[in-house]
Structure 1
Amino acid sequence: MAKHKNADLETSGPQDNQENNQFVPESTPSTLASKVAAGLYIVATPIGNAQDITLRALSLLKQADTILCEDTRVTAKLLMIHGISKKKCHAYHEHNAEKMRPKVLDKLNSGEVVVLVSDAGTPLINDPGYKLVRECNELGLPYTTAPGASSVITAMVLSGLPSDRFLYLGFLPNKTVARKKALEEVKSVRATLITLESPRRVAACLKDMADVLGNREAAVTRELTKRYEEVRRAPLPELAELYQNEVVRGEVVLVVGPPDESVNETSAEDLDSLLENALARLSVRDAVAEVVDATGLKKRAVYNRALELTKES
């Protein structure tokens, strides 16, 4: 199994007896000012609020020989905000990565400090940086990360949905048929689902989610850590209806809760029988309330099944 070398923060000071013979110092002001060792540093940057950057990230950006970024204009603005000037930024993205990668490896072989950043958040999430890391691993070149902001984790925290187990889906397909197929593949996963989405497709995506995943709790998180940060949480059908005629702006992360397992605690046949009997006499709301009182099942699970039965009939 290949092992990577940790590109450490400082080149002087005590040495331990680890295999790579490198010392990882405490993050104190004195060590943050120390000279940075050569290697590749994968550095997280803010997702909105420019203050959400670590002291370690600032130190690395100041001492970098080369900064790789998605959009040089975006990174230049961040550097300017934090008073870091006269740094050469090079574009490194999905369209030029194959061409740029050998040049970056040459820089690392020659002993440069190379910092890789994305426009926002943690690099390698939805970008080609992982291939560069893989080659560093295979060639035995030093690399490490300076962790920080992540829109995925931030959305998970703010959603109020179960966070003990979650699945990140990246961007779902743009078209309805493909998107529903992708959702069917993860429908039975017992975990909270997280996906990024274009503001132009939020309404369509929520509708497809409601159709495939049912009445699960979900949250639409928007403009995280920015001035107009917003979190809306409700069952998927409600969110889908809410966003049908709403113009959405800014960066969006969708979070969908896991499937409710409480229906499995009783006979599905018995539940259907009770619901069908109640629905023949009452509204959906009252029928659900009656069955919940009779069985002790969770209201959300019974309501989901009532909607399915109503749709089937």
Structure 2
Amino acid sequence: MSISSQSSFQSPASEGGPGALYLVATPIGNLEDMTYRAVRTLSECDIIAAEDTRQTRKLLTHFDIQPKQLFSYHEHNKGASGPEIIRYIIEGKNAAIVSDAGLPAISDPGSDLVRLAIAEGIPVIPVPGANAALSALIASGLSTERFTFIGFLPREKKDAVALLQSLPASAGSLLFYESPHRIKKTLSFMQEALGHRRAVLARELTKRYEEFTRGTLQECMEWLEEHPPIGEYCVVLEGGSQEEEQKERDSWWQSMSIEDHVAHYEETGLSRKDAMKKVASDRGVSKRDIYNALL
């Protein structure tokens, strides 16, 4: 892959070059989540690509935005609609893409359109705004120093548990999206895979009935038994403990053969003798054991 550099605002279509692709954030609940810049961008763009055109028309009407062209762009038509939008941009038109709520290209096919644009040398310009996962995180009370966005877990239990167990303790707080009819099952998968951890259920973010439920996974599941799930959820799950992180650091070599383990240290500049000594220390065995294993 060759390196590329983009100057977002220095190749306007008026100079004969291609247009640009704007990634425009929309409200996640409260219409006041919309930024002034988002309104202006949608008003000025030649094309607006929307996940659900009916939902987007309501938003545009509220802000008195008259779209020049409104395209349907979603998971089921992206193969045809994406290249068509890119063709218009190459011809000099500016296009904006929006999702039903929040930032486009996160857990939706907008990311595919971004890749198509970059491949054609088209400037891709973010117009930031509300995001459900980060809004849930900053109000969760859990660590914000490190976090990993997972999105929706696989539907099958074995796949969901396998994914959860593959996440290192060092991943920090974990961010998930989930629907109301699956939230109980998802929490049970989390408990089975990761055990006793604190969690925060954030629902109806920025809406009138916004609610944060904080407790252990078990307590959150018990809460949902008494308070039936309503609305879309963001789940913030506590990261692994310091003890779990240390254990992972101490056992990073476990999937390696002894030969590969020794080679790893040799690549850092150690002599073979010193590398074998380090491997013996890591594995809690004698240097003779390592030497004999390599014969």
TM-score by length of 2: 0.76
Q: Taking structure 1 as reference, are residues 145 and 263 closer, same or farther at Cα in structure 2, changes over 3 Å only?
A: closer
Q: Alignment partner of 1:195: what SS?
A: strand
1:207 lines up with 2:208 in the alignment: no
Q: Alignment partner of 2:96: what SS?
A: strand
Q: Residue 6 of structure 1 contacts residue 143 of structure 1 at CA under 8 Å; is this kept in 2?
A: no
User: Which segment is superposed worse, 116-125 or 82-91?
Assistant: 82-91
Which residue does the alignment assign to 1:311?
none
Q: Taking structure 1 as reference, are residues 117 and 252 closer, same or farther at Cα in structure 2, changes over 3 Å only?
A: same
Gaps of 5+ in 1: 9-19, 23-36, 266-313
Amino acid at match of 1:202: I
Q: Deviations over 1:36-88 (max 9, x none)?
A: x9311111111011111111111111111110010001111111111113543
Matches within 5 A, 1:242-281: 242-262=223-243
Amino acid at match of 2:200: A
Q: Taking structure 1 as reference, are residues 70 and 4 closer, same or farther at Cα in structure 2, changes over 3 Å only?
A: farther
1:61 lines up with 2:42 in the alignment: yes
Q: Distance in 1 between matches of 2:237 and 2:114?
A: 31
Q: Deviations over 1:5-61 (max 9, x none)?
A: 3443xxxxxxxxxxx578xxxxxxxxxxxxxx9311111111011111111111111
Q: Taking structure 1 as reference, are residues 39 and 187 closer, same or farther at Cα in structure 2, changes over 3 Å only?
A: closer
Matches within 5 A, 1:96-111: 96-111=77-92
State how many pairs are aligned.
Answer: 241
Which of 162, 184, 189 is the aligned partner of 2:143?
162
State the identity %: 37
Matches within 5 A, 1:82-97: 82-97=63-78
| RMSD (Å) for aligned C-alpha atoms | 2.2
Amino acid at match of 1:3: S
Amino acid at match of 1:53: M
Amino acid at match of 2:109: P
Which of 178, 188, 195 is the aligned partner of 1:197?
178
Amino acid at match of 1:123: P
Q: Taking structure 1 as reference, are residues 200 and 48 closer, same or farther at Cα in structure 2, changes over 3 Å only?
A: same
Q: Residue 6 of structure 1 contacts residue 144 of structure 1 at CA under 8 Å; is this kept in 2?
A: no
Which residue does the alignment assign to 1:3?
4
Which of 21, 40, 45 is the aligned partner of 1:40?
21
The ranges of structure 1 where at least 4 consecutive aligned residues each deviate by more than 4 angstroms after the TM superposition are: 262-265
Q: Residue 6 of structure 1 contacts residue 142 of structure 1 at CA under 8 Å; is this kept in 2?
A: yes
1:71 lines up with 2:52 in the alignment: yes
1:136 lines up with 2:137 in the alignment: no
Amino acid at match of 1:232: T
Gaps of 5+ in 2: 13-17, 247-295
Amino acid at match of 2:187: L
TM-score by length of 1: 0.72
Offset at residue 106 of structure 1 (A): 1.2
Q: Residue 69 of structure 1 contacts residue 90 of structure 1 at CA under 8 Å; is this kept in 2?
A: yes
Q: Alignment partner of 1:77: what SS?
A: helix
Amino acid at match of 2:6: K
Q: Distance in 2 between matches of 1:200 and 1:218?
A: 18
Q: Deviations over 1:98-128 (max 9, x none)?
A: 1012211111011111111100000000112
Offset at residue 158 of structure 1 (A): 1.3
Which residue does the alignment assign to 1:49?
30
Q: Residue 90 of structure 2 contacts residue 122 of structure 2 at CA under 8 Å; is this kept in 1?
A: yes
1:120 lines up with 2:121 in the alignment: no
Q: Deviations over 1:120-143 (max 9, x none)?
A: 000000112222212222221222
Amino acid at match of 1:227: R
Offset at residue 211 of structure 1 (A): 2.1
